[in-house]
């Protein structure tokens, strides 16, 4: 009788443990997928931003054709953004592109005709919209990473995450880029 | 297309309440029967399992014998069910595109319009606070360090009518006045109707059906009274007639319970009498986006912990989180700092 009780208890514990492992594993998979989905959202916006660059350059070049250096920098930064393979590379490339674009905008400020060009204004508005969307997507991405990281590092789910090699995800941190 | 629901805290609470009431009635009857048996000593010397069995079956008889509790239970359950049906109906919309996640903002909707499209209602606390956040974003008001609401000296032309009216209430210091807030709420429904999000469905059959149900209820009560008189006068409570009297009690209870329950449910379902608001095609479209936004905020953000200082960071998303009750911290902070005792607009069902 005693043996049956012990066996019953062990079976019960094993069942509870199995259910816990399955639940935690699934929660971690969902968390990882959410982070990836959110990164995809940022990536879509980054690509949208990079697709605006050729038209912007074309519009600006019509008025500021002699500033070849800055056009080259913009084109290079765009190229790096499009060829980035990992989130950290994309973040870095985007920061470079944003920095060089702000220089281009500052330059454009000196040309009143360009400033009043409808095409240029439209592109500028689109660029601003893209930047806003990237900013929101970044906030949501960081929140999702936080929720996932909490699961990853909290006890006892950290045992499951180590057991199944769930990777740590990095925050989209502007200062580190 | 199949209807979908926007899940609100209130709609989620409905089923739980009904189950709690039913469980309480069962538990109360069970304990009462056990105590009753103990008091009269009919189970003296019996085993505990027999006692439990007696209490279990006995509770149905005890409940059925009591005229008044059956009436109260029927009213409570009827109001609860009617209210739950109303709330669940109000959060229901017809999806157009089957959106799971909507990641964009719905800037065309003011917080009040957003809230109406969530559940066809407005609530004092969350919706006023969300409108205050929107006004703060437009720099029409400011929150002092101690949380006090301060009105900006210049009037922002970007304020919509719900914000202009609320600004007037703040100036008159009548945010706590339930009549002013009621007027504010009513104007929002008129605004939502004008904007083409909802329409008034006047149901003229409501009064007729209420009268019909009331007449049936009175007749049923008279019949139940007759049965009760019959039990009291014609059936002697002996062991031989025990089953017969229980059958009569059960018939009496059916006559009391069913019409009372249906009448109460009908009254609670029509919370605004014969006026029922419904979503237009545009309203359904916007509600679908709101549901998608709700899923998005819930699954991909940590807005529950955000404070009002983060409004600059989150803009509209923070307002949406407040309206969708994903963030209660801001509501608490603003209400506490300004001594706002915002009245919760009530459903008929909230009275019990």
pLDDT given at position B15: 66
What is the per-residue DSSP string for A19-48? Answer: HHHHHHHHHHHHHHHHHHHHHHHHHHHHHH
- Tell me the pLDDT tens digit for each residue of B9-56: 777 777 666 667 777 777 777 777 777 777 777 666 777 777 777 777
B302: pLDDT strictly greater than 80: yes
Residues of chain A with C-beta less than 8 angstroms from the C-beta of B315 = 136
From A34, A137, A143, residue closest to B302, measured CB to CB = A143
Residue B308, CA distances (Å) to B78, B129, B148, B330, B332 in order: 41, 10, 13, 6, 11
pLDDT given at position A145: 93
Check if A33 contacts B (Cβ < 8 Å): no
Percent of chain B with pLDDT over 70: 85
Check if A20 contacts B (Cβ < 8 Å): no
Most confident of A71-85, B102-116, B143-157: B102-116
- Tell me the pLDDT tens digit for each residue of B267-279: 888 766 556 789 9
- Tell me the pLDDT tens digit for each residue of B74-125: 888 888 888 888 888 889 999 988 888 998 888 889 999 999 999 888 877 8
pLDDT given at position A20: 94
| Shortest CA gap B328–chain A (Å) | 18
Mean pLDDT of B166-191: 87
Most confident of A170-174, B65-69, B104-108, B176-180: B104-108
What is the per-residue DSSP string for B183-243? Answer: HHHHHHHHHHHHTTSEEEEE-THHHHHHHHHHHHHHHHHHHHHHHHHHHHHH---STTTHH
Global confidence as pTM: 0.78
B210: pLDDT strictly greater than 70: yes
| Shortest CA gap B265–chain A (Å) | 40
The pLDDT confidence band at residue B185, using thresholds 50, 70 and 90, is confident
pLDDT, averaged across chain B:
81
Name the pairing type of β-strands B198-202 and B275-279: antiparallel
Percent of chain B with pLDDT over 90: 24
A109: pLDDT strictly greater than 60: yes
The pLDDT confidence band at residue B237, using thresholds 50, 70 and 90, is low
Check if A48 contacts B (Cβ < 8 Å): no
The pLDDT confidence band at residue B238, using thresholds 50, 70 and 90, is low
pLDDT, averaged across chain A:
87
pLDDT given at position B17: 65
Check if B304 contacts A (Cβ < 8 Å): no
* Contact yes or no for B63/B25 (Cβ under 8 A): yes
Helix (H, G, I), strand (E, B) or coil at A69: helix
B344: pLDDT strictly greater than 60: no
Residues of chain A with C-beta less than 8 angstroms from the C-beta of B299 = 34
Interface contact flag, B301 A34, Cβ < 8 Å: no
Residue B62, CA distances (Å) to B35, B49, B59, B237, B310 in order: 12, 19, 5, 14, 58
Residues of chain A with C-beta less than 8 angstroms from the C-beta of B317 = 136
Burial (CB count within 10 angstroms: exposed 0-12, middle 13-18, buried 19+), residue A55: middle
Mean pLDDT of B165-180: 86
Helix (H, G, I), strand (E, B) or coil at A177: coil
pLDDT given at position B351: 32
pLDDT given at position B155: 65
B297 vs B152 pLDDT, higher one: B297
Name the pairing type of β-strands B141-143 and B149-151: antiparallel
- Tell me the pLDDT tens digit for each residue of A15-57: 999 999 999 999 999 999 999 999 998 999 999 988 888 888 8
Interface contact flag, A143 B300, Cβ < 8 Å: yes
Residues of chain B with C-beta less than 8 angstroms from the C-beta of A139 = 301, 313-314
B 100-159 → A contacts, CB under 8 A = 103
The pLDDT confidence band at residue B240, using thresholds 50, 70 and 90, is low
pLDDT given at position B4: 87
Mean pLDDT of B214-227: 92
Nearest CA in chain B to A143: B301
- Tell me the pLDDT tens digit for each residue of A51-68: 888 888 888 877 777 777
A5: pLDDT strictly greater than 60: yes
Nearest CA in chain A to B104: A133
Check if A139 contacts B (Cβ < 8 Å): yes
Tell which residue, B93, B15, B9, has the closest CA to residue B277.
B93
Q: Among A140, A142, A148, A174, pick the best mutation site for testing chain B contact (most B Cβ within 10 A).
A: A140
Check if B303 contacts A (Cβ < 8 Å): yes
Helix (H, G, I), strand (E, B) or coil at B110: coil
From A34, A139, A146, residue closest to B299, measured CB to CB = A34
Lowest mean per-residue pLDDT among A149-158, B72-81, B237-246, B281-290: B237-246
Lowest mean per-residue pLDDT among A66-80, A109-123, B159-173, B226-240: B226-240
Nearest CA in chain B to A135: B313
Residues of chain B with C-beta less than 8 angstroms from the C-beta of A38 = 300
What is the per-residue DSSP string for B97-108? Answer: S--S---S--TT
pLDDT given at position B87: 86
Check if B341 contacts A (Cβ < 8 Å): no
What is the per-residue DSSP string for B28-51? Answer: HHHHHHHHHHHHHTTTTT--HHHH
Interface contact flag, B103 A144, Cβ < 8 Å: no
């Amino acid at each position: 009788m005693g043996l049956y009780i012990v066996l019953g208890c062990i079976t019960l514990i094993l069942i509870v443990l199995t259910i816990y492992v399955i639940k935690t594993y699934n929660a971690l998979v969902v968390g990882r997928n959410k982070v990836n989905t959110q990164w995809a959202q940022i990536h879509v916006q980054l690509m949208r931003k990079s697709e605006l660059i050729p038209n912007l350059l074309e519009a600006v070049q019509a008025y500021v054709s002699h500033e070849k250096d800055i056009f080259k920098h913009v084109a290079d930064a765009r190229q790096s953004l499009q060829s980035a393979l990992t989130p950290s590379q994309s973040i870095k490339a985007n920061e470079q592109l944003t920095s060089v674009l702000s220089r281009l905008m500052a330059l454009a400020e000196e040309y009143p005709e360009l400033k009043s060009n409808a095409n240029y204004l439209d592109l500028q508005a689109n660029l601003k919209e893209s930047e806003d969307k990237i900013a929101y997507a970044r906030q949501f991405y960081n929140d999702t990473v936080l929720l996932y990281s909490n699961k990853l590092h909290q006890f006892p789910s950290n045992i499951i995450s180590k057991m199944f090699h769930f990777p740590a995800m990095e925050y989209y941190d502007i200062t580190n880029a | 297309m199949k209807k979908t629901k926007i899940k609100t805290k209130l709609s989620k609470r409905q089923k739980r309440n009904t189950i709690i009431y039913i469980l309480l009635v069962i538990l109360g009857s069970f304990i009462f029967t056990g105590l009753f048996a103990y008091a009269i000593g009919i189970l003296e010397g019996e085993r505990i399992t027999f006692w439990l069995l007696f209490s279990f079956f006995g509770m149905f008889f005890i409940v059925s014998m009591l005229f008044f509790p059956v009436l109260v239970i029927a009213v409570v359950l009827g109001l609860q069910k009617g209210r739950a049906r109303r709330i669940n109906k109000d959060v229901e919309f017809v999806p157009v595109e089957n959106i799971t996640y909507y990641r964009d903002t719905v800037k065309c909707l003011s917080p009040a319009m957003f809230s109406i499209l969530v559940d066809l209602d407005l609530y004092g606390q969350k919706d006023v606070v969300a409108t205050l956040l929107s006004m703060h974003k437009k720099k029409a008001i400011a929150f002092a360090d101690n949380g006090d609401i301060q009105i900006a000296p210049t009037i922002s032309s970007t304020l919509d009518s719900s914000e202009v009216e609320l600004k007037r209430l703040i100036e008159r210091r009548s945010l706590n006045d339930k009549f002013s807030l009621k007027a504010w709420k009513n104007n929002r429904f008129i605004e939502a109707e004008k904007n083409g999000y909802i329409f008034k469905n006047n149901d003229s059959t409501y009064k007729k059906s209420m009268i019909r149900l009331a007449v049936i209820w009175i007749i049923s009560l008279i019949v139940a009274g007759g049965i009760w008189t019959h039990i009291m006068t014609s059936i002697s409570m002996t062991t031989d007639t025990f089953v017969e009297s229980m059958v009569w009690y059960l018939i009496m209870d059916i006559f009391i319970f069913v019409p009372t329950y249906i009448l109460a449910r009908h009254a609670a379902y029509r919370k605004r009498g014969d006026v029922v608001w419904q979503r237009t095609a545009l309203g359904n479209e916007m509600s679908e986006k709101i549901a998608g936004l709700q899923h998005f905020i819930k699954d991909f953000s940590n807005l529950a912990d955000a404070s009002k200082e983060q409004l600059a960071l989150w803009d509209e998303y923070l307002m949406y989180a407040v309206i969708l009750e994903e963030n209660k911290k801001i509501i608490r902070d603003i209400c506490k700092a300004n001594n706002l005792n915002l009245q919760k607009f009530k459903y008929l069902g909230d009275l019990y």
